[in-house]
Structure 1
């Protein structure tokens, strides 16, 4: 079975941007919609979703999911409370939701590519093994056919 986790390189400078998790695309779209209607709510949901169905992007050995949750929680709260400053929180929230979708689509494409490579490898191995087994079967059939003629 293919490991569902794919390590995509992140070129984010800050831990805050690295905290945007890889989520299934429908979940990322749902988070964007929540961010549009209630700024920060989709960001908080994405942090909790990373615990059970997503993959954190933070490059740390331990506590990746916890750090992702905490950062998304803090960013979501910040987005909500900065709505009053010329809707800064609302625009920030929508941009965050857009990044969620972009990262989720990149992750989905990487998963699909990895699955295709695994299927191709398995097919090549199966064909190679099958042809070797087939040759043996043909040899035994030829030998048995020759014996039956004699």
Structure 2
């Protein structure tokens, strides 16, 4: 009995190679992350402020997120440009409360640390854009 290609194998793997790399089609694919309203409400803060918020979120879940809510009132930009500043402020307060209330079962603490890491990542992107550099 001859071994035949399995269903999971591609047809190209079953055929002999033609020698050389596959031709490039020149298609550029852009991937954009879709964020929910709470994640999109994370403000683009100055880098030192974002690091402080990460530090606060690491040791007191939700505290850094609570502080970041006030940066929205001070003019920090978010990924929700069509929403009013007060609405974005309250979304950040809601995220802080969720982190505080669920910290008892460790979910909020982990969420709080990831939230702080997102703040630092957004601050780094902001810093790179301000410097005119490319992220990659």
Tell me what 2:40 maps to: 18
Tell me, yes or no, if structure 1 residue 69 matches structure 2 residue 69.
no
The DSSP-based 3-state class of the residue aligned with 1:84 is helix
Q: 2:33 and 2:87 mapped to 1: Cα distance?
A: 18
Runs of 4 or more, structure 1, over 6 Å off, are none
User: In the alignment, is the contact (CA less than 8 A) between 1:23 and 1:53 conserved in 2?
Assistant: no
User: In the alignment, is the contact (CA less than 8 A) between 1:24 and 1:53 conserved in 2?
Assistant: no
Tell me, yes or no, if structure 1 residue 54 matches structure 2 residue 83.
no
How many residue pairs were aligned? Answer: 102
Say what the alpha-carbon RMSD is for the aligned residues: 1.6
More helix by share: 1
Tell me what 2:29 maps to: none
Pairing 1:1-150 to 2, within 5 Å after superposition: 11-60=33-82, 62-63=83-84, 65-85=85-105, 87-113=106-132
Q: 1:27 and 1:92 mapped to 2: Cα distance?
A: 19
Q: 1:74 and 1:36 mapped to 2: Cα distance?
A: 18
Q: 1:102 and 1:59 mapped to 2: Cα distance?
A: 19
Q: 2:100 and 2:121 mapped to 1: Cα distance?
A: 22
Q: Deviation per CA, 1:21-49, whole angstroms, max 9, x where unpaired?
A: 10000000000111011100100100111
User: In the alignment, is the contact (CA less than 8 A) between 1:47 and 1:72 conserved in 2?
Assistant: yes
Return 5+ residue gaps in structure 2 as ranges: 1-31
The TM-score, its normalising length taken from structure 2, stands at 0.69
The TM-score, its normalising length taken from structure 1, stands at 0.63
